[in-house]
């Protein structure tokens, strides 16, 4: 039996003990799997308790074929019940919701499979198989599962690394002199900053070592093993202002004009492209 359980990224990072519910087939408790209200189970008189009957077909005059068929009276059980159990109506099993404990290891990889031995559908006729739980990552949401409103809701995971997009204003990207405090998935702070004069180009990716996902290990955090971490990759997005006060716009324009005349570079000239459209030579008709 296979089920998928969605887990928020925060639980993959911190490790988490939780539970999940699953509807599965279980042996009826009312009749203890007998299917009978009074516990009385009789041998099927039609098949003599074998569950099967032998049928003879005549293929041609004098030629018979013997076929073994499932008994239609007891459905192959070999037993009949006069007073059926009111809960399972004689089927001996019911579908019920069960609660399972789920232990998510720190740094558990996406798609990790956890085995619950003999916890699949039950039946009085066979030993229950195993239940396999596959951990999947739940879509991030600010409303759910985030009492601390940690930024971590919007981290993206790739293997052992985490990805984050940080927005800078034009002034910050260009002039430097800013700080940001990222709240990580366990609530600790990752400080990002640049001193004055330190430029960040749009799209720059900064690698912050050791601030990624914990690397999963069977020993977890113990005397035998200290958890190592992947990296955090911060991509900077620079937002240009699309609205400005009139006075501000005038000031900036004047400032640009002043410095452009002094030591500006004409990128159009600098590019080495020809001025105006290029006349292509007319091809000879062959």
Residues contributing to the site for Zn ion (CB under 5 A): 28, 30-31, 44, 46-47, 71, 73-74, 85, 87-88
50 C-beta neighbours (distance < 10 Å), count: 15
Which residue, 80 or 153, is less far from Zn ion as judged by CB?
Answer: 80
Q: How far is the CB of 128 from Zn ion (least distance, A)?
A: 17
Q: How far is the CB of 113 from Zn ion (least distance, A)?
A: 33
Which residue, 23 or 285, is less far from Zn ion as judged by CB?
Answer: 23
Query: Is the torsion defined by CA of 133, 146, 208, 14 positive or negative?
Result: negative
Residue with tokens 């007998």: 34
> For residue 153, what are the contacts with CB-CB under 8 A and spacing of at least 6?
8, 9, 10, 140, 141, 142, 146
Q: Which helix (H) or strand (E) holds 62?
A: none
Which residue, 47 or 232, is less far from Zn ion as judged by CB?
Answer: 47
Q: How far is the CB of 47 from Zn ion (least distance, A)?
A: 3
Q: How far is the CB of 129 from Zn ion (least distance, A)?
A: 22
Helices (H), strands (E): how many in the chain? Answer: 4, 15
Closest CA to 153 of 164, 144, 141: 141
Which residue, 76 or 109, is less far from Zn ion as judged by CB?
Answer: 76
Which residue, 46 or 146, is less far from Zn ion as judged by CB?
Answer: 46
Any bridge partners for residue 156, and if so which? 163
284 C-beta neighbours (distance < 10 Å), count: 5
Q: How far is the CB of 97 from Zn ion (least distance, A)?
A: 17
Q: How far is the CB of 55 from Zn ion (least distance, A)?
A: 13
**Strand boundaries in 81-197, DSSP class E:** 93-104, 113-116, 131-137, 156-158, 161-169, 178-183, 189-194
Which residue, 44 or 234, is less far from Zn ion as judged by CB?
Answer: 44
């Amino acid at each position: 039996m296979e089920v998928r359980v969605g887990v928020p990224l925060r639980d993959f990072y911190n490790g988490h003990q939780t539970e999940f519910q699953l509807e599965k087939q279980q042996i009826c408790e009312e009749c203890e799997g007998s299917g009978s209200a009074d516990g009385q189970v009789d041998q099927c008189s039609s098949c003599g308790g074998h569950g099967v009957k032998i049928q003879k077909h005549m293929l041609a005059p004098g030629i018979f074929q013997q076929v073994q068929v499932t008994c239609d009276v007891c459905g192959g059980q070999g037993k009949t019940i006069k007073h059926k159990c009111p809960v399972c109506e004689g089927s001996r099993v019911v579908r019920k919701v069960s609660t399972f404990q789920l232990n998510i290891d720190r740094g558990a990889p996406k798609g990790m499979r956890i085995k619950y031995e003999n916890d699949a559908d039950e039946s009085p006729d066979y030993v229950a198989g195993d239940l396999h739980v596959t951990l999947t990552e739940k879509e991030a949401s600010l409303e759910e599962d985030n009492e601390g409103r940690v930024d971590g809701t919007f981290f993206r995971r790739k293997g052992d690394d985490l990805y984050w997009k940080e927005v800078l204003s034009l002034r910050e990207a260009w002039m430097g002199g800013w700080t940001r405090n990222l709240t990580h998935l366990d609530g600790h702070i990752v400080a990002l900053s640049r001193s004055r004069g330190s430029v960040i180009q749009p799209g720059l990716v900064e690698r912050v070592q050791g601030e990624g996902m914990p690397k999963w290990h069977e020993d977890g955090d113990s005397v035998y093993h200290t958890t190592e971490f992947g990296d955090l990759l911060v991509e900077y997005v620079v937002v240009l202002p699309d609205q400005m006060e009139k006075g501000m716009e005038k000031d900036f324009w004047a400032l640009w004009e002043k410095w452009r005349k002094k030591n500006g570079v004409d990128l159009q000239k600098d590019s080495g492209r020809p001025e105006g459209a290029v006349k292509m030579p007319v091809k000879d008709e062959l």
